[in-house]
A and B are shown apart, each in its own frame.
Chain A
Amino acid sequence: MANSTVVHSIDGPRGPKPRKMLSRRNIILYGTLLVVAVYYLIPLYVMLVTSVKGMPEIRLGNIFSPPVEVTFEPWVKAWAQACTGLNCDGLSRGFWNSVKITIPSVFVSIAIASINGYALANWRFKGANLFFTILIFGAFIPYQIMIYPLVILLRDLGLYTKLPGLILIHTIFGMPILTLLFRNYFTTIPEELFKAARVDGAGFWGIYFRVMMPMSLPIFAVAIVLQVTGIWNDFLFGVIYTKPANYPMTVQLNNIVNSVQGVTEYNVNMAATLLTGLVPLAIYFISGKLFVRGIAAGAVKG
C-alpha cells in the first residue's frame, strides 16, 4: 500500500502544468488582437505612405501601395509653404501659436487645480463641499451655453481674439475635471502624513510644495498629458476666441486641408495632419509609464 503511493508520486504530474503555445484559445485571442491592431493602424499607414509620395504617384489611386519614390517635399511644404488665405508660411505659424497657447494654459490650469484639490482634500474649510459640488456641476454644463457669454466677457476684458484670452478660456474649462482629479488623488495620501507635517510646523504652502507635490508626480503627469492633448487638439475655442494671426495649429490645419483653390495636395495634407498630431503623440510616449501609474494610483496601496 505504502509502496504504491510512492510510485504514484514519481510517475504522476509534477511541477508546472505544460501549456501549448498554439492552443485554440491562444489562436483566437492573438488572432483577434492582431486583426484589431491592423484595422486601427491602416489609416496611419495610408497617411504615412501618402505623405512621402509625389502627386503623380497619388493620382494613380493605389493608396495602399508603398511609395516608389520617397520624397519629403510635402512635409517641407506643409511646415513652411502651405497657404491659408493670404499667408503662405505653412503650419509653422500655427505650431508656434499652439505652443504659446498650450504651455501657459497647461501650467496655469494645473497650478490652480492642484491647489484647489489640495485645499479641498486636506483643509476642509467651511463650505468646501458646496464649493466642490458647484465646481463639478460646471463639468456638466454644455459648452454651447457658455460660448457667447464668454465672448462678451473676453471683449469686456479686452482679451477677445488675443492669446491670453484663449489661455484664460482653457484654464476655466480645465478646472472641474482637474480639480476632481487632484482632490481624489490627495485624499488617498494618508491623513497622518498631513498631520505629521503640521506638527513639524509646515504651513499651507509648505505642506503643498514640500510634502504633497513631491509625492504626487504621477498625478501631475496625468494632468499634463490630459491638458496638453486636450488643449493642443482643441479646435472650437481656438476658432471662436482668436483671429487668423493667432489661430492654433488645428485651426490652421483645417484651413490648409479645406482650402478649395487649385488641386488638393493629398500628400501635403497628410504631412500637415501628421505634424499636428506629433506633439500629443510625443507627450504620450514620453510620459506613458508615469501616466499609467497615475491612472492606476489609488487602486493599489504602495
Chain B
Amino acid sequence: MNSIEIKKLSLNFGEVVVLKDLDLSIEKGEFLVLLGASGCGKSTLLNCIAGLLDVTDGQIFINGQNVTWYEPAQRGIGMVFQSYALYPQMTVKGNLSFGLKNAGLPKEEIENRVKHASEILQIESLLDRKPAALSGGQRQRVAIGRALVRDVEVFLFDEPLSNLDAKLRTELRVEIKRLHQKLDNTMIYVTHDQIEAMTLADRIAVMRDGLIQQFDTPKKIYNNPVNKYVAGFIGSPSMNFLKGTILQDGKPIFKLEGGLDESPDLSNYKFQESIKAETQVWLGIRPETIVTGDEAKNMPVNFSLEVEVFEPMGADTLVWSQIGGQEFRFMVDGNSSVNVGDRVTVGFDPAHASIFDIDNEERL
C-alpha cells in the first residue's frame, strides 16, 4: 500500500501558479527527497502534505485516508523545520510533550514516549534545559524528537540541516539515515543540497517551477538524467555540457561547435530512439567519468587540452579547461602534479554521457 498518494494537486497564490496537477505516490517506509532550487515549490508541496496550506485543487491521501481537509495534527505526520522552531519558553521536555498534551494523552504515556525518544536521540541529559541553552545540533535533535514522540507514520523534513555548519550537517545526515533504518517509517525530506539527496534518498523527485522533472532512484537520476536541468543539478562538480551537432555517417558522430580535429564516434551511446541527422545537441559528460593520460588514449573519445585553472580538493584535483571555446572540467588524482599551461590528454566513453536536444533540453 502506498503511504502517501497525491493526486492532481494544484496550488495558486492569487495569480501565481506554484504547483500544477502534481501526482506523486510514496511507498510505505520509503525515504523520498524533494530536491530543487529555491522557489521551485518543494517546500510548498511539503506544507500541503502537512496541511499547513490549503490546496487549490486535488487530493492528498495518507495511509489510504483522504486527508485533504484534515487539520495538520489529524494527519498522522510529524514535521521538522529548518529553523528548528522549538518553543523558546518551554524546556526540552516541554517541547517534546507539547503535542502529546494537546492530544490529551495520559501522563505515564507521555513520560514513556518522551523517555523513549530522548534515548533514541541521546538527549536525555538535556531534558530540563531551555532551547536557548542548546547548540544547533542539539536543537535540531530535539526538533526531530518532537516528531518522534508523536509516533506517526510519516515524517516531514523541511531543509532540516541547512542551518547547521558543514561538519555537523554530515554527522546529522548519517543520524537521520540511521533513524530511518531503525524506525522504518515513511520520510519526505526537502532540500536544495544534492549531496543530501543522493546520500539519503530511496527515491528523489527533482522539482522545477512546480513540476516534478524526474522521480527515480538516486542512481538512475545520476546516470540517466531525463533533461539538461536535472543533469546539471545533480552531481558535484556539475556536468560538462558541450554544444554541437550529431551527424549520421553510418554511425552517429558528434561535431563539436568550435571545432575538434577528430569528430568523436558516439556508437556506444544508447539513444532513446533513432535520431535524425544534423540534430543540434548538448553532449553532457560528468567530470568524474573523464580519464586522463594513457588510459584516455584507449577511450573511444579522446582529445588534448590545456590546463587553465586547477582546484586541489585533497583526494582529487578539479581542472578547468576549454575545448573549442567551451568550458570543460575534469578530475585528476590529487597526488598528480598539475600546472597551469600543461597539456593533458583526456578521454571518455560515450556510454557514460548524456545527450540532450538543444531546443527542449530532453534526453535523446
Is residue A206 within 8 Å, beta carbon to beta carbon, of the partner chain?
A: yes
Contact B72 A199 (CB under 8 A): yes
Which residues of chain A have C-beta atoms less than 8 A from B52's C-beta? 195, 198-199
Q: B77-88 CB contact bits vs A (8 Å, 1 = yes)?
A: 111011101111
0/1 string, A197-213, CB within 8 A of B gives 1: 11111100010001100
Q: Which of B50, B89, B99 contacts A201 (CB 8 A)?
A: B99
**B146-194: which have CB < 8 Å to A?**
146, 150, 158
Determine whether B73 belongs to the interface, using a CB cutoff of 8 Å to chain A. Answer: yes
The interface residues of chain B lying within 8 Å CB-to-CB of A206 are 102
Contacting pair A201 B73 (CB below 8 A): yes
Q: Which of A178-205 contact B (CB under 8 A)?
A: 190, 192-193, 195-202
The distance in angstroms between the C-alpha atoms of A197 and B79, with both chains bound, is 10
Q: Which residues from chain A contact B73 at a C-beta distance below 8 Å?
A: 198-202
Let me know if B99 and A200 touch, CB within 8 A: yes
Q: Number of A interface residues, CB 8 Å?
A: 16
Within 8 A of A (CB), among B41-73: 47, 50-52, 71-73
Least CB separation from A189: chain B residue: B88
Which residues on the B side are within 8 Å of A201 (C-beta)? Answer: 71-73, 99, 102-103
Interface residues on B, range: 20 to 34
Interfacial chain A residues near B79, Cβ < 8 Å: 195-196, 199
B43 to chain A, nearest CB (A): 11
B102 touches which of A190, A195, A200, A215 (Cβ 8 Å): A200
Q: How far is the CB of B186 from chain A (nearest CB, A)?
A: 16
On whether the beta carbons of B85 and A195 are closer than 8 Å, the reply is yes
Nearest-neighbour CB distance to chain B for A124, whole angstroms, equals 11
Partner of A190, one of B72, B77, B85: B85
In the bound complex, do residue A195 and residue B99 qualify as a contact, i.e. CB atoms below 8 Å apart? Answer: no
Partner of A214, one of B86, B89, B99, B146: B89
Q: In the complex, what residue of chain A is closest to B94 when comparing beta carbons?
A: A210
Give chain B nearest CB distance to A247 CB in angstroms. Answer: 42
A-B contact pairs, 23 of them (CB 8 A): A193-B85, A195-B72, A195-B79, A195-B81, A195-B85, A196-B79, A196-B81, A196-B85, A197-B87, A197-B98, A198-B73, A199-B50, A200-B98, A200-B102, A200-B146, A201-B72, A202-B73, A202-B98, A202-B102, A210-B98, A211-B87, A214-B89, A215-B89
Residues of A bordering B, CB below 8 Å: 190, 192-193, 195-202, 206, 210-211, 214-215
4 further A-B pairs in the complex, CB-CB below 8 A; given A199-B77, A200-B150: A196-B79, A196-B85, A198-B72, A199-B79
Which A-B residue pairs are the 7 nearest by beta carbons? A201-B73, A200-B99, A201-B102, A192-B85, A196-B85, A214-B89, A192-B81
